[in-house]
Amino acid sequence: MTQTRMLAGTPVFPIGLGCMGLSHGYGQAVSPEQAQALLLGALDQGVTLFDTAALYGFGHNEELLGRVLSPHRSRFFLASKCGIFREDGRRRIDGRPDTLRRTCEDSLRRLRTDVIDLYYLHRWDKSVPIEDSIGALAGLAQAGKIRHIGLSEVSADTLRRAHAVHPIAAVQSEYSLWSRNVDIAVLQACRELGAALVAFSPLGRAFLADGLPPSVDALADTDLRRGMPRFQADAFVRNQSLLPLLRDHAKGLGCTPGQLALAWLLHQGQDIIPIPGTTNLAHLRENLAAVDVTIDAALATELAAHFHHERVAGDRYGPGTLAEVDTEVFPAHGAGGGQHINTKA
């Protein structure tokens, strides 16, 4: 497989590193020593895309990357996000131009850099026209503080509106064998506009890597999966029935289930860049080795059909978070788990 893919006109390794889990999301943040070893290990293994956000650890993650990676700034492509942050101890979505400009200055300081290569609007603040938010980011690009603009968790319609204001280099959305909402419309819109699709949670938050305990109750109290419908008791048991086929094919190919899940994503097109996260160097090496796993069209089709959205139990987010995102979703399909159609599709 080609060992680089294009992101905002820059060649990057086909698999990047999602850094959120080093600071929050899946339990207690790792130690500074472990985080540093993981980040430097990723750099040494050839990772060129590092993905963070102002939200992650409420600034902690950007500070971590700044401290560890800034001496090596010329060796990697840096992506961060604005539009969600903490104020007065509360998480807020705020896409007002003044807020985005202030957030960018804070991120630059924490990241110890003069410019962010790719700056995403983390969520579209639906109280602010997307054109206004993108206009503010375009001003940051003109000022040389960011190089390219991205969007996260948006519909095809919102992407096109944003792109009319300023070219959008990438859309970041959840994309994996069991989360394929972008196939409804966003991936096609990206291809029409020349934007890459950066796939977060490409391993289904470890589900597709076959690395989760048998019950969500075994996860840390602060693990965000405890509140996600797919990981709740009945849904999780039903979803487990999807894994044996993935395991069997992985065994036949001489790889792990997680590597096969990543290889399936890579097979979907050269414009797709997965960014799995990990806190473990061995898992990092395993993920990156997925670029050497080759699958044919027949297997890709079989896996896609096996993980069809009607066979996946539960939504990917709870109702509150679903209301925040703008991504198209599949029609409700009864046994597969109450997803609701977004008429913008």
pLDDT tens, 126-142? 999 999 999 999 999 99
Residues of the chain with pLDDT > 90, as a percent, come to: 82
How far from the centroid of its chain's Cα atoms is residue 217's Cα? 25
The answer to whether residue 302 is domain-embedded is no
Distance CA 97, CA 108 (A): 17
Distance CA 166, CA 158 (A): 13
pLDDT surpassing 50 at residue 338: no
Q: How many domains does the chain have?
A: 1
Model pLDDT, residue 332:
64
Model pLDDT, residue 331:
82
The answer to whether residue 128 is domain-embedded is yes
Could you identify the residue written with the tokens 């069991």? 178
Query: Which is nearest to 76 in space by CA: 138, 11, 123, 125?
Result: 11
Model pLDDT, residue 224:
87
pLDDT in tens, 139-196: 999 999 999 999 999 999 999 999 999 999 999 999 999 999 999 999 999 999 999 9
Cβ contact 185:345 at 8 Å: yes
What average pLDDT does range 51-57 have in this prediction? 94
What average pLDDT does range 233-252 have in this prediction? 95
Per-position b or e across 267-283, b if 16+ CB within 10 A of its CB: bbeebbbbbbbbbebeb
Distance CA 41, CA 72 (A): 13
What average pLDDT does range 51-70 have in this prediction? 95
Instruction: Determine the number of helices (DSSP H) and then strands (DSSP E) in the chain.
Output: 12, 12
- Taking every pair of Cα atoms in the chain, the longest distance, rounded to a whole number of angstroms, is 54
Distance CA 287, CA 290 (A): 6
Model pLDDT, residue 233:
85
pLDDT surpassing 90 at residue 118: yes
The answer to whether residue 247 is domain-embedded is no
Model pLDDT, residue 211:
85
Cβ contact 150:118 at 8 Å: yes
Q: List, edge to edge, every strand of the sheet that includes 49-51.
A: 17-18, 49-51, 77-82, 116-121, 146-152, 168-174, 196-200, 272-274
Distance CA 105, CA 159 (A): 25
Three-class secondary structure of residue 122 per DSSP: coil
Active site residues: 56
Could you identify the residue written with the tokens 């979803």? 239
Predicted confidence band at 87 (pLDDT cuts at 50, 70, 90)? confident
* CATH number of 195's domain: 3.20.20.100
Three-class secondary structure of residue 282 per DSSP: helix
Query: Which is nearest to 324 in space by CA: 315, 333, 313?
Result: 315
Could you identify the residue written with the tokens 């990543």? 262
- Residue ranges of the alpha helices (H) in 177-329? 186-193, 233-240, 243-253, 257-267, 281-288, 297-306, 319-324
Predicted confidence band at 2 (pLDDT cuts at 50, 70, 90)? low
Half-sphere exposure (Cβ direction) of 264: Cα atoms closer than 13 Å: 32
The answer to whether residue 36 is domain-embedded is yes
The answer to whether residue 122 is domain-embedded is yes
pLDDT in tens, 193-225: 999 999 999 999 999 999 888 888 888 888 889
| Mean pLDDT for all residues in the chain | 92
Global pTM reads 0.93
The answer to whether residue 248 is domain-embedded is no
Cβ contact 181:270 at 8 Å: no
The answer to whether residue 234 is domain-embedded is no
Distance CA 8, CA 6 (A): 6
The answer to whether residue 242 is domain-embedded is no
Parent domain of 77: 5-209+263-294
- Burial of 28 from C-beta contacts in 10 A (0-12 / 13-18 / 19+): exposed
